[in-house]
Structure 1
Amino acid sequence: MIELNSSDPINYDLDSPTDTISSFPRLTQTISYDEFFRNYLEKNKPCIFSSGFTSEWRARSDWVTPIGIPDVEYFVDQFGDANVPVADCDQKHYDSQEKKTFKLKDYIQYWNGLRETSCGEKQCLYLKDWHFVQAYPDYGAYTTLQYFASDWLNEFWQVRNDIQDDYQFVYMGPKGSWTPFHADVFRSYSWSANVCGRKRWVFYPPGEDQYLRDPFGTPIYDIDSSDLSDSSKYPRAASASGRLEVIQEQGETIFVPSGWHHQVWNLEDTISINHNWLNGTNIQVAWRFLVESLNQVEFAIQDCKDMDDWVGQCQLLLRVTHGMDYKEFYTFLRTVALRRISCLNENKPLVSFDVWSIGKNHMLYDLKKIQWCLEQLLNDERIDGIKDFSDDENHPVKLLDDITTVLS
């Protein structure tokens, strides 16, 4: 195992600005974890890793034919009866695409039909968000790169006993399949590795999405749409700046920072592996987005403020619309913090993805960021009205005290 640790003093700056960049950085040589941490994670700066970083992955050999296209017959043989989520790229569903569940072998039959006819006008279906690792935990398709190993989100789900879930996905789609303009869940980071095929990405830095929304605040669905040039529909679109466009080649891995809105197209038949993740370098972004989402919920139902347990109803709606409420966020922080406190007390590293070892300085950095989040949570007056907290013997105050003791 390789230890992920910084020999430098811990940087406790919680508001490191996103770098302004005019081109997409490409990393062709191995860099230290510390260099990636300082220059990309803390600065919230995107980049692409060359195909050499994934060359040893099992998926790069098993899932690809000798001529470099998806080996769909291998998937039928190995996983054909798996239930997989499939999006219809031609059917808009709110701000996303309509989804259905297919047997993998039936989706592959559809895909083979496209290949046989070479007809681009057929229904365009895209297999998205397949929880492959959860379904086949012993398969070993890939090893998460060390740069993405400090992954609180998947660490949280890995140790939970009440619900089985994760944010580790496989995507498979024919040429022309695509994902609409969006920023990632919880304003998390994401990484996406092309096992085979090529993708086109368009990015806008955090905050620029405000110019790409209609008068009702809804972001553009397709960034290539001619509607964007219609000032009656998108009156501030001309003010958007910082657009970056990049082609991701076979084997390359793209790092998507927090809050960067993006849209993705498959330029060829493509298979990719993707993770969403949070850690100490972007947890403050996730907290602020959670607060912003709650403010939006409260505004939307302000006419019902006299209802019984209005605070609780807002938390319920927050969980539905955002994917996490205040109690879940606290449980997430507590799970991550207690594992680090335990490792520090026992003077042992924290193992991530069974490969990488999180060192002492890194764990202290993590705890400092969790400390900040807990202080923000406790300063939010709405916490007093949330029954889950009043009944919880493991109150945030106790965890904050424990962390403060460790850090001091």
Structure 2
Amino acid sequence: MSSAAPQAVNPATLPTYDDLSYQRFLHDHLIPNTPFLLSPRWTERWGARREWTRPHSRQSGLLASLDEEDMCRLLSDVAPRNPPSSHSKQPSLPVTSQDQTSFATPPSLPNFAALTAYGEQIVPVADTTQREFSEFARDERPLREVLELWESGEGRTLYVKDWHLVAELGGGANARGVYEPPACFLDDWLSPPFEVLTSSSASTADFRFTYTGPAGTFTPLHSDVYGSYSWSANIVGRKLWWLFPPGTEPRDKHDELLFDVRNVKALKVLQEEGEVIFVPSGWHHQVLNLDFCISINHNFFSSPTLPRVYAALRSSHDSCVAGIADVLPDIKARLGDTVLPDGRTAWEAEWAEVLDGLLERDAGWGWEGFWTCVRDNLVNPPTGSNLRPADDDVAHFVCTALEQYKASPEWRLLPAARAVATEVETFILGLKP
């Protein structure tokens, strides 16, 4: 599982589920690493669906959807649903008559009055006209300021992204009043659902986000943090997704990811209001708001994707090695052949520590942090046994990553990480039949 080969996806087989058991999710999507949609049935009781929406009315300006001609062009080759959900049917594609183009199911509009309850929360705001490397330029400001701009018809290129709403609410009942993750996604090793987290820890420890912005705002092509999965629920409006299986993502002549793939052939998915999309590990994707949108997103991983997450961290480690290779001769010259009491060569030990520190800054965690995450989720699983793989399967997935790590120099050179990985190995031995 650690090296995903490019895979073909037949758009005619993209499923949309009214009901989905964990076992079907595990065997049809989690392990094979394939996308799907959950119908609006899964979100219809969420507080956010009741309180953050107001009925559709013909709008112009900021709250309008994309131009209908653009909409028809963008949606001409979206993936059909097979089988279509009884709640979603087929996507609400444009219906064209002699005089006009319209949609059978118009989206809701955002209820800005309800969102003012969170107005003092400080949120990241991207300006989608100002590119900054592989993303958009961002600043931070109170949500209230952004809502005021939108209510006045301004700020049409501003997109609130990666807003840590759940952490700001303090988790627990306050968060459940907004939404509850679908049961199949509760085996979450990154940020267990509604664990109490303070806003001060949100930027580094929380992977549950809210997004909101006008039609036309978008997220450029990317893959998710740590090689994780993600799920995203539309509360208001519709989104268009461009999905690329691992190894098929489009790159330019310099081997850099394309920023905007609107003219590239892809698996295109129209996500309706109320629907939830599952994005598999390592799948690059771009997302466009067709209407004014509000969505809720979780990045997560669990034992089946651990080999992929390990591979992503190993790739980041290799990039760190290449990035500071010129430092190594200086370390060797300074420390020479000195041997530490534990048998490690001093220069190797320092080099490994320097790399691990850079890895933590670059990727968000180093090897000790990675194995600590694995250990903690093994010891205290985030969900019951009916919503996670069987113990022997968990052991298999973890051992796949563990054996690769034990074959690496870091196993020998980073004693703190080795100690935690050894705890993982001991625990796994108890899971095996």
**Scaled by the length of structure 1, what TM-score is found?**
0.80
Q: 2:431 is aligned with what amino acid?
A: V
RMSD: 2.6
- Aligned: 1:56 with 2:45: yes
How many Å separate the matches in 1 of 2:414 and 2:17? 49
Aligned CA distance change for structure 1 residues 38 and 14 (closer, same or farther; 3 Å): farther
Q: Does the 8 A contact of 2:4 with 2:246 survive in 1?
A: no
- Aligned: 1:214 with 2:224: no
1:270-329 CA deviation, whole Å, 9 max, x = no partner?
000000000112111110111111111111221221244222221122122222211111
- Aligned: 1:107 with 2:107: no
Q: 1:104 is aligned with what amino acid?
A: L
Aligned CA distance change for structure 1 residues 58 and 157 (closer, same or farther; 3 Å): closer
Match of 1:317 in 2: 358
Aligned CA distance change for structure 1 residues 294 and 109 (closer, same or farther; 3 Å): same
How many Å separate the matches in 1 of 2:4 and 2:133? 34
Alignment partner for residue 27 of structure 2, among 28, 35, 38?
38
Q: Which moved more, 1:261-270 or 1:374-383?
A: 374-383
Q: Does the 8 A contact of 1:371 with 1:404 survive in 2?
A: no
1:50-108 CA deviation, whole Å, 9 max, x = no partner?
111211111100110133211011111x1111111111111112211111111111010
Aligned CA distance change for structure 1 residues 359 and 278 (closer, same or farther; 3 Å): closer
Alignment partner for residue 305 of structure 2, among 282, 286, 293?
282
- Aligned: 1:334 with 2:357: no
> Which consecutive unaligned segments of at least 5 residues does structure 2 have?
57-107, 332-349
Q: 1:208 is aligned with what amino acid?
A: T
How many Å separate the matches in 2 of 1:22 and 1:216? 29
**Structure of larger gyration radius:** 2
Q: Does the 8 A contact of 2:242 with 2:268 survive in 1?
A: yes
- Aligned: 1:379 with 2:407: yes
- Aligned: 1:198 with 2:238: yes
Q: Does the 8 A contact of 2:157 with 2:217 survive in 1?
A: yes
Aligned length: 356
> Which consecutive unaligned segments of at least 5 residues does structure 1 have?
1-12, 116-121, 229-240, 341-350
Match of 1:406 in 2: 431
How many Å separate the matches in 2 of 1:360 and 1:44? 16
**Post-superposition offset of 1:186:** 0.7
* Structure 2 residue matching 1:176: 3-state secondary structure: coil
Q: Does the 8 A contact of 1:81 with 1:105 survive in 2?
A: yes
Aligned CA distance change for structure 1 residues 65 and 276 (closer, same or farther; 3 Å): same
Match of 2:213 in 1: 173
- Aligned: 1:184 with 2:224: yes
* Structure 2 residue matching 1:281: 3-state secondary structure: helix
How many Å separate the matches in 1 of 2:257 and 2:362? 16
How many Å separate the matches in 2 of 1:132 and 1:360? 26
1:205-228 CA deviation, whole Å, 9 max, x = no partner?
11012xx22343321111137xx8
Q: Does the 8 A contact of 1:17 with 1:44 survive in 2?
A: no
Aligned CA distance change for structure 1 residues 365 and 159 (closer, same or farther; 3 Å): farther
**Post-superposition offset of 1:358:** 4.3
**Post-superposition offset of 1:18:** 7.3
* Structure 2 residue matching 1:106: 3-state secondary structure: helix
Aligned CA distance change for structure 1 residues 189 and 205 (closer, same or farther; 3 Å): same
Match of 1:397 in 2: 422
Matches within 5 A, 1:102-181: 102-114=141-153, 124-136=157-169, 137=171, 138-139=173-174, 140=176, 141-155=178-192, 158=195, 163-164=201-202, 165-181=205-221
How many Å separate the matches in 2 of 1:18 and 1:29? 29
Alignment partner for residue 79 of structure 1, among 111, 118, 135?
118
**Post-superposition offset of 1:381:** 1.5
Alignment partner for residue 394 of structure 2, among 366, 375, 380?
366
Alignment partner for residue 253 of structure 1, among 265, 276, 284?
276
**Post-superposition offset of 1:388:** 3.3
- Aligned: 1:98 with 2:87: no
Q: Does the 8 A contact of 2:167 with 2:196 survive in 1?
A: no
Aligned CA distance change for structure 1 residues 359 and 34 (closer, same or farther; 3 Å): closer
How many Å separate the matches in 1 of 2:330 and 2:150? 51
Q: Does the 8 A contact of 2:159 with 2:212 survive in 1?
A: yes
**Post-superposition offset of 1:383:** 2.9
**Post-superposition offset of 1:190:** 0.4
Q: Does the 8 A contact of 1:199 with 1:247 survive in 2?
A: yes
Q: Does the 8 A contact of 1:19 with 1:43 survive in 2?
A: no
How many Å separate the matches in 1 of 2:253 and 2:5? 28
Q: 1:56 is aligned with what amino acid?
A: R
How many Å separate the matches in 2 of 1:215 and 1:310? 33
How many Å separate the matches in 2 of 1:384 and 1:160? 34
Q: Does the 8 A contact of 1:158 with 1:166 survive in 2?
A: no
How many Å separate the matches in 1 of 2:7 and 2:168? 38
Aligned CA distance change for structure 1 residues 205 and 406 (closer, same or farther; 3 Å): closer
* Structure 2 residue matching 1:274: 3-state secondary structure: strand
